Amino acid sequence: MTEQDWTRLRAPTLADIEALADAAYAALPTSFTRLCEGLVIRVEDFPDDETLDDMQCESEYDLLGLFRGRGLTQGAHLSETGEQPNMIWLYRRPILDYWADSEDTLGAIVTHVLVHEIGHHFGLTDADMEEIERRAE
């Protein structure tokens, strides 16, 4: 492994995290992703104040990602006209903060958060999500 020239590197941007999320999503099993039709994935720096309050977060760094919508177990296929699409938010700054204290790669963390949030869409257990992540590696 060559030594990195850190003097020229910048923190990953919103677009960089989005590209990692797109690559992670593309690597997921087709049986998993075909049930995600219409799912919108967004990357923001931080959750908004309403979300922080709703999730009872003590800090804007407490939440790495969030699923909002109607999961498959709640009848996502029955969504009504005017209802917002199912959405996943990935929060760049909390993800980067977590990465700074982790031995995992940034890509692995983004994949983990994405799979976890998609798992909420499916109503999956943590064990189910771990298996999907393992298959996406």
Reported as a single tens digit per residue, the pLDDT across 106-137 is 999 999 999 889 887 777 777 877 777 777 66
Considering the entire predicted model, what is its pTM? 0.83
Q: Rounded to an integer, what is the distance from CA 44 to the centroid of its chain?
A: 11
User: What does the pLDDT read at residue 120?
Assistant: 77
Residue 105: which residues within 8 A CB-CB, separation 6 or more?
none
User: What does the pLDDT read at residue 71?
Assistant: 66
Mean pLDDT of 45-52: 97
Distance between CA 98 and CA 59 in Å, rounded?
13
Distance between CA 121 and CA 56 in Å, rounded?
21
User: What does the pLDDT read at residue 75?
Assistant: 54
Q: What is the mean pLDDT of the chain?
A: 86
User: What string of DSSP letters covers 97-113?
Assistant: HHHHT-SS-HHHHHHHH
